[in-house]
Copies of this chain bind each other. A is one copy, B any other.
Amino acid sequence: MTVNKLISYFDNYLSLDDKEKEELTNRVIEKNIKRKQFILHEGDVCRHYSFVVSGCFKMYGVDASGKAHNIQFASENEWISDIGSFHSEKGSQLFIEAIEPSIILQLEKSNLIYLYTQYPKFNRTFRVIIEDKFVELQNRILQKISSTAEERYLSFLDQYPLLSNRLPNTQIASYLGITPEFLSKIRNHISQK
């Protein structure tokens, strides 16, 4: 049962009791997602929190000139969602696309709200999860403001060694906010040491 992976994920925060496990299990939907398949498309409302059981996703926006900019990746044991669209129920400006064949567990808004109101533990746990994500984003902003591209690349390798092995460099470049050509030059420069 893939839902066990989600249940043991919660053990990192506050472990669930049997009743909570059952409620959670009944409220998520398992989906198989092919490579290059979208689970969120620009203009659509984001209606789910998606928990990645296996595989990998990217979330990105497309600018006026048609270029894609990766905002975040999500692989095993991570949630992905456009939280802004999810809450406002307005059309998203983002895409979420599978980079690899993936299995996810989706939680719909009405079910999430049910869990929030019936079981305070979910409320607390999701608060902590998003606080951690917030801190991560804040560090990224600080880095983007104050470091060079080479420093940011090295720090990405350091922080996400598993991701950097399985992602093509084009995707990493987009996440760092640089062109693939320039990343190639950075890599060349680094290897000369």
Residues of B within 8 A of A63 (CB): 146-147
Indicate how many identical chains form the complex: 2
Surface stretch bound by B, among A3-11, A18-26, A30-38, A116-124: A116-124
Q: Which residue of B lies closest to A70 (CB)?
A: B145
Question: Is A189 located at the chain interface by the 8 A CB criterion?
Answer: no
Q: Tell me the bound Cα distance from A71 to B141 in angstroms.
A: 7
Interface string of A38-72 (1 = CB under 8 A from B): 00000000000000000000000101000101011
Question: Is A83 located at the chain interface by the 8 A CB criterion?
Answer: yes
Question: Is A89 located at the chain interface by the 8 A CB criterion?
Answer: no
**Which of B67, B124, B133, B135 interacts with A146 by CB under 8 Å?**
B67
Question: Is A177 located at the chain interface by the 8 A CB criterion?
Answer: yes
| B141 contacts A83, C-beta separation under 8 Å | no
| B177 contacts A135, C-beta separation under 8 Å | no
| A138 contacts B71, C-beta separation under 8 Å | yes
Residues of B within 8 A of A139 (CB): 84
Question: Is A181 located at the chain interface by the 8 A CB criterion?
Answer: no
| A130 contacts B123, C-beta separation under 8 Å | no
**Which of B71, B138, B146 interacts with A142 by CB under 8 Å?**
B71
| B130 contacts A134, C-beta separation under 8 Å | yes
Write the nearest CB–CB distance from A57 to chain B, whole angstroms. Answer: 15
A-B contact pairs, 19 of them (CB 8 A): A61-B142, A69-B142, A69-B145, A69-B146, A83-B131, A84-B135, A87-B131, A116-B124, A120-B123, A123-B123, A123-B124, A123-B127, A126-B127, A127-B127, A127-B130, A141-B141, A144-B144, A144-B177, A145-B177
